[in-house]
Chains A and B, each alone.
Chain A
């Protein structure tokens, strides 16, 4: 099973959840996953767009009690 790293970016306005994800991608191996937590819906929405553009995989987004959990897999 792939390793999964969680990044808690709740309450992050600057640099913000997407920037945390981009930085986090450097910490994991190809095939591994990152779950990023965001308390801001707008930033949760930007993440899939970047994943598509950077050709990583978006495994899903789920909202639990006002926190968005976005799951991504590093593909290259």
Chain B
């Protein structure tokens, strides 16, 4: 049986290692072969970008060699997929190689697309790539006072990031002793400050307490860099001295080009995680069209379900488990306090007031991630 995993990020790596552990015997005997195609020889811990943008992590801390994270028996090719020939059970790569498969898993992730909003890419700072996060940190460092506006597009990876960045900037400027010269203004697309009602109930009074102003029902339509104004779809506008944006995302171009899903979101069955209509294709992580958070924990929980099911396909000929929509997200509430939200399709989250203990757990997880990706946690 040939297993092909496309994408070596959080979802792909956790899935490959999970399978390698479950199928050690079959991999050794040659009954099963596992191949991973990915676009980079380095693996980035993306949640670290938030800390990079605020000067609390450095770029090299975000990376490990992809090969070093994989269990033995996984045949890694840094050679991105270009053509998905699902009817023939084949994927063709950039180098021209064709990989056949019996089971395919797609975990190619998502990309920020600031260029879709007029003026946004040129006039805002972002932290969703290494380059933009470093640039944002330099802008924050040079900032001596004025109005900072946070604005976002939908959908975006890590729905907690907008709140985290505003609270972290607050503490950053307080530590620099210039908070009285900085006005922080937060905008959000729906009628409260966060999509999770309980988080919004805690975050709005927290913003009031810290002097952070906010405007809800604000979906960015355009940015006028000359006038330094952001305008919303809803007809309002706000001026800024420094604009921090969380751009809307799309799935990868290769997904769109191969017509696997509109805007790169692959139609995925919410419980089996099969690509709709394809029982030998699984989809996980940010590239699914599922109505759940685009977060590392989502990719992780999905990888565990798919790992168990592919192993069951090898051994029993049928899948054994369903995904229940589980997501777990930390929420940084400043530089030294955090809370978390855990939920699934049936059970809404009940986040508690932020504590120092949860913050230190997240800081620890920033290191433990590498063990988690290897399948050791």
- Measured CB to CB, the residues of A under 8 A from B are 7-20, 22-23, 26-27, 42, 46, 49-50, 53-55
| Chain B, residue nearest A37 (CB) | B291
CB contact under 8 A between A8 and B191, given known A14-B159, A14-B327, A23-B155: no
Contact string against A for B residues 151-183, beta-carbon threshold 8 Å, 1 for contact and 0 otherwise: 000110001000000000000000000000000
Contact of A8 (CB < 8 Å), options: B189, B197, B291, B327: B291
CB contact under 8 A between A53 and B217, given known A19-B190, A26-B263: yes
Contact of B155 (CB < 8 Å), options: A11, A19, A54: A19
Kindly list 8 other residue pairs between chains A and B, CB separation below 8 angstroms, not including A13-B348, A14-B293, A22-B190: A8-B270, A10-B291, A15-B293, A16-B196, A19-B154, A22-B154, A26-B248, A50-B190
Contact check, A22 vs B219: say whether CB atoms are below 8 A apart: yes
Q: How far is the CA of A25 from the CA of B329 in the complex (A)?
A: 26
Contact check, B291 vs A46: say whether CB atoms are below 8 A apart: no
| Chain B, residue nearest A46 (CB) | B191
- Measured CB to CB, the residues of B under 8 A from A are 154-155, 159, 189-191, 195-197, 217, 219, 233-235, 248, 262-263, 270, 291-293, 325, 327, 329, 341, 343-346, 348-349
Contact check, A15 vs B155: say whether CB atoms are below 8 A apart: yes
Contact check, B195 vs A16: say whether CB atoms are below 8 A apart: yes
Q: How far is the CA of A13 from the CA of B310 in the complex (A)?
A: 28
CB contact under 8 A between A27 and B262, given known A15-B291, A19-B190, A22-B189: yes
- Summarize B's interface: helix, strand, loop or mixed: loop
Q: How far is the CA of A26 from the CA of B153 in the complex (A)?
A: 11
CB distance from A57 to the nearest CB of B (A): 14
Contact check, B325 vs A14: say whether CB atoms are below 8 A apart: no
Cβ contacts under 8 Å, A14 to chain B: 159, 195-196, 292-293, 327, 329, 341, 343, 349
CB contact under 8 A between A11 and B197, given known A50-B191, A54-B233: no
- Summarize A's interface: helix, strand, loop or mixed: mixed
Q: How far is the CA of A19 from the CA of B290 in the complex (A)?
A: 12
Q: How far is the CA of A42 from the CA of B327 in the complex (A)?
A: 21
A–B complex contacts, Cβ < 8 Å, 25 sampled: A7-B291, A9-B291, A10-B291, A12-B292, A13-B349, A14-B159, A14-B293, A14-B327, A14-B349, A15-B154, A15-B155, A15-B159, A15-B291, A16-B195, A17-B291, A19-B154, A22-B154, A22-B219, A23-B154, A23-B155, A23-B248, A27-B263, A46-B191, A50-B217, A55-B235
CB distance from B326 to the nearest CB of A (A): 11
CB distance from A37 to the nearest CB of B (A): 9
Which of B154, B191, B262, B348 neighbours the largest number of chain A CB atoms within 10 Å of its CB? B154
CB distance from B349 to the nearest CB of A (A): 6
Cβ contacts under 8 Å, B155 to chain A: 15, 19-20, 23
| Chain A, residue nearest B262 (CB) | A27
Contact check, B343 vs A19: say whether CB atoms are below 8 A apart: no
Q: How far is the CA of A53 from the CA of B234 in the complex (A)?
A: 6
Contact of B190 (CB < 8 Å), options: A9, A13, A46: A46
Cβ contacts under 8 Å, B234 to chain A: 53-54
| Chain A, residue nearest B197 (CB) | A42
Cβ contacts under 8 Å, A20 to chain B: 155, 291
CB distance from B116 to the nearest CB of A (A): 8
Q: How far is the CA of A17 from the CA of B217 in the complex (A)?
A: 14
Contact of A19 (CB < 8 Å), options: B189, B217, B349: B189
Contact check, A11 vs B189: say whether CB atoms are below 8 A apart: no
Contact check, B195 vs A19: say whether CB atoms are below 8 A apart: yes
| Chain B, residue nearest A8 (CB) | B291
Q: How far is the CA of A25 from the CA of B189 in the complex (A)?
A: 13
Cβ contacts under 8 Å, B291 to chain A: 7-12, 15-17, 20
Q: How far is the CA of A8 from the CA of B209 in the complex (A)?
A: 37
**What 4 A-B pairs are tightest by C-beta distance, nearest first?**
A11-B345, A12-B291, A9-B291, A23-B155
CB distance from A53 to the nearest CB of B (A): 5
Q: How far is the CA of A55 from the CA of B221 in the complex (A)?
A: 13
Contact of A13 (CB < 8 Å), options: B189, B191, B270, B343: B343
Q: How far is the CA of A9 from the CA of B325 in the complex (A)?
A: 12
Q: How far is the CA of A10 from the CA of B291 in the complex (A)?
A: 8
